[in-house]
Amino acid sequence: MVNDLKVNNTNILPLRWFANMCGSIACWSILKAAYLDEDENYGWQYKIHGIIHKLTWPISYKYGSFYEFSFDMSGDGWDDYDSDGVPYWEKYNLDWDYIDPETDDAFRVIKK
């Protein structure tokens, strides 16, 4: 069960609108900087997007709206093991490419 709660950090509506707009700009700029970082392009565009994020995110964080999610993670559905302690990949005989002997994490290699 998911219970979400909207948290408004200010009751001044125009300030909240402006802060939410700054939040959109901040998310866009950090995403653009991440794309540039992935391409190892650390030029002036990377620095400008970092500055934009640095200037707009604090306004959004202080005055914007956020959602809090609380997940009910109790029960058998959130665990990798059944009630007998058997991992689901052994229970259903799934073919895994690698099973880590220390942590019992299972991996499947995806080939393109």
Is 26's pLDDT higher than 90? yes
Q: Which of 23, 15, 34 is nearest to 56 (CA)?
A: 23
What six digits make up the tokens of 83? 């009630």
pLDDT tens readout for residues 30-87: 999 999 999 888 999 999 999 999 999 999 999 999 888 776 666 655 666 777 777 7
- Indicate the burial class of 60 (C-beta count within 10 angstroms; 0-12, 13-18, 19 or more): buried
What six digits make up the tokens of 59? 């306004």
Contact assessment for residue 59 and residue 18, using Cβ atoms and an 8 Å cutoff: yes
User: What is the model's pLDDT at position 17?
Assistant: 95
User: What is the model's pLDDT at position 105?
Assistant: 78
Contact assessment for residue 64 and residue 19, using Cβ atoms and an 8 Å cutoff: yes
pLDDT tens readout for residues 97-106: 777 888 877 7
User: What is the model's pLDDT at position 34?
Assistant: 94
Is 1's pLDDT higher than 50? no
User: What is the model's pLDDT at position 32?
Assistant: 95
